[in-house]
Structure 1
Amino acid sequence: MRTSGETSIDEQYSSKLRGVERKLTFVPAGHAYRERFETGSATRVTFLYLDPAALHKCDENETSLSPRIYFEDSLVWETASKLQKAIEGGGANCAPYLEALSSVLAHELSRSGEALLREPRRASRGGLASWQRRVVVEYIEEHLGEQVCLLELAALARLSLHHFCRAFKQSFGVPAYQYQVERRMEAAKLQLADRAVSITDIALSLGYAQTSSFSSAFRKTTGWTPTDYRRQFE
């Protein structure tokens, strides 16, 4: 969770998303990449560099190898994590394994990009367009400590309230209000790891007037009370 900063590729694709845990960014060769991070706690970012030839071999038309900022894909994540651990583990005989993992990662990136190309067609059947998802999510992330009105989000997406609520659920799988609560709880998890911050202060920072309301929302979302969750860090 970064407190501020921005990620951009070619100054055309950009994001100020704060919650970037388990998020992936893909920068094709020849594109300008810039990232600025300010965080309130230790943050780990891993950079993996792949031979462009390996990627082009998996995607001869190069249609799916477009820049992507903060996307999620469990298969790409798992393969990238294995590659990271293999590199950090070292060993004289790991080169063939690294080569194999790199090939798999190239294939998964290509597959993920092809799925992204199909996304606009799904959005046309009732979901939010990519620009609408971006502006709405960024606004929610920047106002986690406030009770954001659905009318505000609908206005940002330039839709009626009814159309926005239906399109948001189709795009994200949950209603807009539930999505906001889930994002607050993810932010709460990070703050709970710091025992110097009281649970009351965390609740207030996330827009809850009463600690009991925050505790109830946290337990409903995570299955833990804030106190029990914090004990995991002792």
Structure 2
Amino acid sequence: MALDDSMDRDPIHGSDDNSPDRQGRSTFVAGERTGEIGVTLSGLRPPSRSIVEISPANIARRRLANWGAIQGERVNVTRRETFEYGFQAPRHLLIAHERGEREDGETLIEGLPRSTLREFNCKLSFVPAGHKFFGWQTPRVLTRVTYFYIDLQDRLFDLESGGARPTIGPRLFFFDQAVWDTALKLKAEVGNSDPGSRQYAEALGVVLVHELIRLERATTATARLIRGGLPVWQQKRVIEFIEEHLTEDISLAALAELAGLSLYHFARAFTQSFGVPPHHYHMARRIGRARNLLQAPTLSVTQIGVQVGFRETSSFTRAFRRFTGLTPTEYRRHRGG
């Protein structure tokens, strides 16, 4: 999203992916999903088996491979009909959404906001052991997904001798290249009867867990950094960039890349450092330059608006009034310009 002359935009919450369905078509309430379909969702109760339960069961073809400490399950939905899914077990669940597009639906992992995201091709989700995972969807395309069930208590995952098992938090619809690549390699071993396949799958499972732990630690370290805002060197780099491109529409992604942070973490850290979001800071600097230019009577209000990056005088006037309480003409008059 560009940091343009719209004062009503929020670069952090521009998407409605994790917000409630505004039409109220379907809501999880007290263990049931009510709405157009109005049936109880089995995923809200602990399932009888420690794999993801899908209802109706005959809507999908499933193939499960058991490698001891880790299991892999390929699931292919065969009809574009509404179905539900649920999971809760004493082991972790990693989901590789290879093909996921829905006309309607929602997904929830306990501890996170529910998501009504419509397209989640090539996305990952992680459900920690004991957490509830449930949802429903009316697929737009035939869903293809792989589930990985991980038992970190198994001796195969004695990753840190003498220490407690690492904690991995819930994640919904994220992407990490290393995790994704390893997950696809492991998926390819489902149904493989070649000698040595089990040993290879176990090795991939260890790699997969290491990648998940690495990702969790990186996220935790970033969160600790954000509580103190941006370091001085990042502040300097970002502010210099904004000043050099003051009249342009600067994307939040460009600023985040300068700081080496994700969009979400950068926006939070910037606000922590400067007290306002990036788009507000950018606009304030534009208005500050406009104030200086209004001291020169030779320039018209329209010319000044163009020089500070506004294509229309009306948008310049609205933004200027929001920041100063005066129109550019009134400000010039009060300053004796």
TM-score under structure 1 length normalisation: 0.49
Higher helix proportion: 1
